[in-house]
Structure 1
Amino acid sequence: MSATATTSQRRGRGGRERILAAAAQLFAAQGINATGMEQVAEEAPVSKRTLYAHFRTKNDLVIAHLQDLASSGATLESVLTREDIPPRERILKLFEQPAGDANPVRGCPFIDAAAEFPDPESAAHSYAREQKLRMVQLIAALVTELGCREPVALAEQLATLADGAASRAMVLGDADYGRHARAAAEVLLERAERVGSPG
């Protein structure tokens, strides 16, 4: 029955989703460049023909993976668009590991992708840059809502703290490392709110 179920899964629908799930798991565990397309197909599981029907090249798979991450709600930046949380708290939640993250601690997948594809003109690096620029825009909108002056400069400072904390959390294997950056972010926000308020 197990063999039948596996065969059915290989031939069934949802191949693209299984490929993306397998790629996400493998890319996180061993890196993008260290993961081969055959390994993704085996992990999915799908035939190589199905894999290449969905993703003609590995670059296509990498971009689809990054797009899937961006829309999943599981990245650092996703908290910034949550309207159920007040603006200030959204910013401070940048310094927490996304819920459900398992050990080992992972850094920002967009920074990881940019590091694995150092050519700034490459598709993966370009997409990662777009996401990091979008992060600053989202933070700037929130600090503007809080009445802070020079929102773009403040947003860049906060984004730098968040990205730095995520990278150090990964290197040190400390999921709670963001607390240090959060303390600095609170000081920046308090000062900006005080300067921005009349009187």
Structure 2
Amino acid sequence: MVEQNVTSRPGRGGRQRILAAAMTLFETHGINATSMEEVASTAPVSKRTLYIHFPSKDDLVVAYLRHVVEAGLTMESVLDRQDRTPRERLLELFTVPDNGTGLIRGCPFVDAAAEFPDPDSPAHAYARQQKQRFTQRIAALLSELGAAQPDILAEQLAILADGAASRAMVLNDPTCGQHARAAATALLDAATA
């Protein structure tokens, strides 16, 4: 969760306050259920300030998704851990994180793509780009492991990770990750035998 500093002087850090407010509201209520007026009120900034920084909701959603990536708040961030082997990093994708609220949140990219179904919309296109990048990063780790057909296995593991995250969110059940991890382990064992 991003810290919000709503006590800042007006005009100072408006963009950061807007992103912090959007993150909280999008994660709590969903993207489409959150209006730009709610974001401005929560930030707090004027609607004019909001629209100067983010001329459209699509712009705000893409900025939110970029922030999530840059802050390491995605399941993909475990792939960067240098204190784990490539295999451990891949299997860590199936650990459903506890955000401390009792509610399990799914993948923000899947959420954005679902709420912006037009594949040409900026939010959907950015979500697609991140999902493709995710699969490429998995394939690179699989190549390090010497896995047979790393691109195909990467797609399978990405589908498992996305499915586990979505199912865990829908059921509010972190054990979904354990079941997907067992399947991923079997796939890894077969590909690296």
What TM-score comes out, normalization by structure 1 length?
Answer: 0.90
Q: Give yes or no for the alignment of 1:115 onto 2:132.
A: no
1:91 corresponding residue in structure 2: 90
2: CA distance between counterparts of 1:133 and 1:108?
Answer: 14
1: CA distance between counterparts of 2:66 and 2:58?
Answer: 12
Amino acid aligned to 1:192: A
Aligned pairs for 1:157-176 within 5 A: 157-176=156-175
2: CA distance between counterparts of 1:106 and 1:175?
Answer: 10
> Percent same amino acid among aligned pairs?
62
1:138 corresponding residue in structure 2: 137
Structure richer in helix, relative to its length? 1
- Residues 86-132 of structure 1 show CA distances to partners (whole Å, capped at 9, x for unaligned) of 10011011011235353211111100100001111111111000011
Runs of 5+ in structure 1 lacking a partner?
195-199
8 Å CA contact 1:10–1:45 kept in 2: the answer is no
CA shift for structure 1 position 55: 1.1
- Residues 38-81 of structure 1 show CA distances to partners (whole Å, capped at 9, x for unaligned) of 10011111122221221111111111011111111111111112
More moved, 49-58 vs 148-157: 49-58
8 Å CA contact 2:58–2:121 kept in 1: the answer is no
Aligned pairs for 1:30-69 within 5 A: 30-69=29-68
Runs of 5+ in structure 2 lacking a partner?
none
2: CA distance between counterparts of 1:64 and 1:14?
Answer: 15
Provide the secondary structure at the position in 2 that maps to 1:102.
coil
1: CA distance between counterparts of 2:51 and 2:31?
Answer: 17
The runs of at least 4 consecutive aligned structure 1 residues that moved more than 4 Å come to none
2: CA distance between counterparts of 1:192 and 1:80?
Answer: 19
2: CA distance between counterparts of 1:23 and 1:64?
Answer: 10
Bigger Rg, structure 1 or 2: 1
Size of the aligned set, in residue pairs, is 189
Query: C-alpha root-mean-square deviation of aligned residues, in Å?
Result: 1.6
8 Å CA contact 2:36–2:57 kept in 1: the answer is yes
2: CA distance between counterparts of 1:10 and 1:98?
Answer: 34
Provide the secondary structure at the position in 2 that maps to 1:124.
helix
